[in-house]
């Protein structure tokens, strides 16, 4: 059969029975259910190769026109982590000290967060996720990127899932505003930091908010029409 130009035949390594499929889907669900957002970290180092494999997993994400509009910075350098923490806490002091609406602060109440961000220095690694709002062509011209927030969101979700699967605790941190990250890490103008994923070993007595364990039931999030 003639192949369309530029196309490969899908490589399929296995066929899966319905029963096996269900067992696997339930196993993934059960593993992901054990993920908690962790704010207390042990100083135990994590090998760089683990972080590289997890970022490589994130880099397989689907993206608009396969433009892969993301960039990751993985930081274990204690000096740089301290600078990020300092800048983030400055933003957070503003946020918690009057910048955020009362409605927003009330929504955060059950999580027990405040301006202090010890995880930014205590976690073994900080992975800063950047979105490339547009690309730069070989001639320096702007290349339009499509579905950037969606693409970067998918890649970030895959990153968190991979880190969790590797056995690491994670925390997504979104300082507001995040302009300081682009400056500190000397990233180009077309990139915008969207989140910091802190990851490492959880501290032995790490505390997690009871309220964050409650997830909507399947009945609340899914309507099946068959």
> Residue 110 Cβ, how far from ligand IYR at the closest point, in Å?
10
When asked if residue 200 is in the footprint of ligand IYR (CB under 6 A), the reply is: no
When asked if residue 176 is in the footprint of ligand IYR (CB under 6 A), the reply is: yes
Interface with ligand IYR in residues 100-119 (CB under 6 A): 108, 111, 113
- DSSP, collapsed to helix, strand or coil, labels residue 1 as coil
Nearer to ligand IYR, 13 or 101 (CB): 101
When asked if residue 177 is in the footprint of ligand IYR (CB under 6 A), the reply is: no
Among 46, 55, 73, 175, binds ligand IYR (CB under 6 A): 175
> Residue 129 Cβ, how far from ligand IYR at the closest point, in Å?
15
> Residue 171 Cβ, how far from ligand IYR at the closest point, in Å?
9
When asked if residue 87 is in the footprint of ligand IYR (CB under 6 A), the reply is: no
Site size with ligand IYR, rule: CB under 6 A: 9
Nearer to ligand IYR, 44 or 174 (CB): 174
Nearer to ligand IYR, 52 or 90 (CB): 90
> Residue 89 Cβ, how far from ligand IYR at the closest point, in Å?
10
Contact assessment for residue 76 and residue 50, using Cβ atoms and an 8 Å cutoff: no
Nearest to 122 by CA among 179, 180, 38: 38
Supply 23's token pair. Answer: 């067992």
Q: What angle do CA 34, 44, 179 make, to 5 degrees?
A: 80
In the sheet that 169-173 helps form, which strands lie side by side, from edge to edge? 70-75, 125-132, 191-200, 169-173
The CA distance from 87 to 40, in Å, is: 19
When asked if residue 173 is in the footprint of ligand IYR (CB under 6 A), the reply is: yes
Nearest to 57 by CA among 198, 133, 157: 157
Among 65, 174, 177, 183, binds ligand IYR (CB under 6 A): 174
Q: What angle do CA 162, 44, 88 make, to 5 degrees?
A: 75
Contact assessment for residue 121 and residue 85, using Cβ atoms and an 8 Å cutoff: yes
- DSSP, collapsed to helix, strand or coil, labels residue 15 as coil
Q: Which residues bind ligand IYR (CB under 6 A)?
A: 92, 95, 108, 111, 113, 173-176
């Amino acid at each position: 059969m003639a192949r369309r130009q530029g196309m490969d035949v899908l490589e399929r390594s296995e066929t899966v029975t319905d029963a096996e499929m269900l067992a696997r889907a339930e196993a993934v669900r059960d593993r992901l259910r054990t993920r908690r957002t962790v704010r207390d970290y042990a100083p135990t180092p994590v090998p760089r190769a683990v972080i590289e494999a997890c970022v490589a997993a994130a880099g397989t994400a689907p993206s608009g026109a396969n433009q892969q509009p993301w960039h990751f910075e993985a930081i274990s350098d204690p000096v740089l982590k301290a600078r990020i923490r300092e800048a983030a806490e400055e933003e957070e002091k503003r946020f918690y000290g009057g910048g955020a609406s009362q409605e927003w602060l009330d929504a955060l109440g059950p999580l027990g967060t405040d301006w202090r961000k010890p995880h930014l220095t205590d976690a073994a690694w900080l992975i800063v996720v950047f979105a490339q709002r547009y690309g730069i062509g070989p001639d320096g011209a702007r290349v339009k990127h499509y579905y950037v927030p969606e693409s970067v969101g998918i890649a970030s979700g895959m990153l968190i899932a991979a880190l969790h699967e590797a056995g690491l605790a994670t925390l997504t941190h979104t300082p507001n505003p995040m302009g300081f990250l682009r400056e500190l890490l000397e990233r180009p103008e077309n990139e915008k930091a969207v989140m910091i994923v802190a990851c490492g070993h959880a501290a032995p007595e790490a505390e997690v908010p009871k309220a964050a364990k409650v997830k909507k039931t399947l009945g609340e999030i899914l309507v099946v029409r068959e």
